[in-house]
Amino acid sequence: MATNYGKGLYKEYELLLSENASVKAEYKLLRKEHQLLQKEIKSKEKLELELAEKATEIEALKKEIIRLNALMNTDGTNSGTPTSKTPISKKKIIPNSRKKSDKKIGGQPGHKKKNLETFKEDEITEIEIHAEEECPYCGGKGEETENIIVKDELDYEVVVIKKRHQYPIYKCIDCGREFHQSIPNNLKEENQYGSNVQALSLSLMNIGNVSVNKVRKMIYGLSEEEINPSEGYIIKQQRKADEQLTGFLEELKKRCLDLETLYWDDTVIDINTTRGCLRFYGDDTIALYVAHQHKNKEGLDEDGILKLLSSDTIVMHDHNKVNYNKEYSFSNIECNVHMIRDLQKTTDNLKHEWSTRLKVLLENTNSQRNAAIESGQKAFENGYVKDFYREFDQIMLKAAEENKADYNKYYGKDERTLILRILKYKDNYLSWVVNFDLPFSNNLSERALRGIKSKMKISGQFQSEKSARNYAAVKSYIETCYRNGINEMQALIRLCEGNPYTVKEILENKCGD
């Protein structure tokens, strides 16, 4: 029995060994499968991580594509981008509020051609006779007839003047002291360039926006190589002109404070490789320019204009939030042209209905207002104004609905910001509808600053804040003269002679006209 029992245990032991070997084999197999699964899981996790990174990269690329498309679609109709910055491959779009007609560009049929009139006899300064005594057909000798073909020519020439001023010295019979006529400051040197040369250099630099080295070359060429001022001398004229205009600029600031409606705007300029700003204040009669190293409220307060305006003054600007500072007392009106550009940008990017409707409403209402003003009307009828505001409110409700229902993650926030801005500053934007004396846009300021862009293209930058302020001072003088019908060159000659026009003289000249 013991033997049988031992045999049974042995068989069971063998069976267990067999099962153990089988389990070990299965374990090895399972372990390999586990390792494969672990590798597969890690591979999947790595793949998922790569996919997440790719998704993030794709999203970033989508945003960049949209941003670049927006830049490509940006022009003068939907932003403040000047026409001059239109890419070569893109057609220039010049903003123009005038309606198109079916007429061709240029002179119209039946329109009388404008020609220079023939000189009167007392106007002729020179006669040149072109004789032709030999016949061009047969070579025979010609005999003069009574008939003459007359052709007039209007031209000019530069005559170099080398003038010597003499101041006789007298001796007083009574006291014995010697004296002579007072010598003006512009003749303090033994020899110097005259006021015409100085005025020409100022004209080229500040009206023509010509660079200093080209001013020198142009004067040298015009004078047939007789007058060759140094670049240092030309720059010095800017500084001298600024000093001469100190009283003029103070008088101009006081005039700005008396305006019922003051326009102001600023633009970026480069000052010694850093970004500065050139600012304009004025209206259609006066133009005050100031330059600053930084574009901030400190500069505005330094100008001493906005902070001194009374509560009766209305200031037109391009949504400069600093204007709403509690320290200022004046009332604000906003430029509608800038709002229209923002509306066009929203239309271009989102294709929403409300922005197009509001743009059309503003443009049509402004056209109707201009027509009403031309016909002598002082204001819209009350019913018209009510209808306008009713339609405006309906459009803004539509704006909120479209923004919420079709919220674009790329432009939705910008659209919402624009909607809230229009609603918040509704009265500031739309005051022109009620009061015909108020302007629709700040175009006057934009035109005043447009020339500085040409200056930056040609000259690149100002060497210092002081040189920028010199330019601003001379620009204030010649622009104010121009707006009141005074020849800029004559104004500059007076300035170089030490006797610049006063603001009072300039404005009286316009009143006299």
CA distance 478 to 487: 9
What's the confidence (pLDDT) of residue 95?
57
**pLDDT score, position 453:** 82
Q: Are 267 and 278 in contact (CB under 8 A)?
A: yes
At 113 the three-state DSSP class reads coil
Q: What pLDDT is attached to residue 512?
A: 55
Residue 40 has a pLDDT of 83
- Could you list the pLDDT tens digit for every one of the 513 residues in the chain? 556 666 677 777 777 777 777 878 888 888 888 888 888 888 888 888 888 888 888 877 776 776 666 666 666 565 556 565 666 566 666 555 555 666 777 667 777 777 889 999 999 999 999 988 888 888 889 888 889 999 999 998 889 999 999 999 999 999 999 999 999 888 889 999 999 999 999 999 999 988 899 999 999 999 999 999 999 999 999 999 999 999 999 999 999 999 999 999 999 999 988 999 999 999 999 999 999 998 889 999 999 999 999 999 999 999 999 999 999 999 999 999 999 999 999 998 888 999 999 999 999 999 999 999 999 999 999 999 999 999 999 999 999 999 999 888 878 899 999 999 999 999 999 999 999 999 999 999 989 998 888 888 877 788 899 999 999 999 999 999 999 999 999 999 999 999 999 999 999 976 655
Q: Are 470 and 276 in contact (CB under 8 A)?
A: no
| Interatomic CA distance for residues 269 and 273, integer angstroms | 10
Cα angle 79-84-86, degrees, rounded to a multiple of 5: 65
The rounded distance, in Å, linking the Cα atoms of 225 and 219 is 8
Residues shown for the chain: 513
Which element (helix H / strand E) includes 382?
Answer: helix 382-405
